[in-house]
Amino acid sequence: MSHVTCIATIKPKENETIKELEDRVENYLLANCFLGGGRYTSSAYDSFEIMHSETRPVTEELYNNELQEHEGECDGEEPIVFMSIITFTDIDEEQCSPEFIGTKYAVYLDCHY
């Protein structure tokens, strides 16, 4: 089994803890068929887990280094052999933009396929 890191961005609710934010991401992905079907029809993942120690606010540096390539996308895909995998998704279904800086969190997922 191989794996890849996927970044899920999300706008936190007022007074929401990191744990609550991560739980909301996980629940959303499971409810919306992140493992295939629904919004994520091309997803080839067998399983995923949240990398709890990696969740952080979107900073300018994080945006420039990890999110800018997905600017204008709600879901970023990369082809691998005979399939595509999701490497970025915005839980709020907003297109990736510099407006994410300071307003959203990046939740890192370890995805297995």
pLDDT tens sequence across 59-80:
999 999 999 999 998 886 665 5
Q: Give percent above pLDDT 70 in the chain.
A: 79
Strands (E) located in the chain: 3-10, 47-50, 56-57, 75-80, 83-90, 105-112
pLDDT tens sequence across 70-112:
999 888 666 555 556 678 899 999 999 999 999 999 999 988 7
pLDDT given at position 20: 97
Q: Residue 92, Cβ neighbours under 10 Å: how many?
A: 12
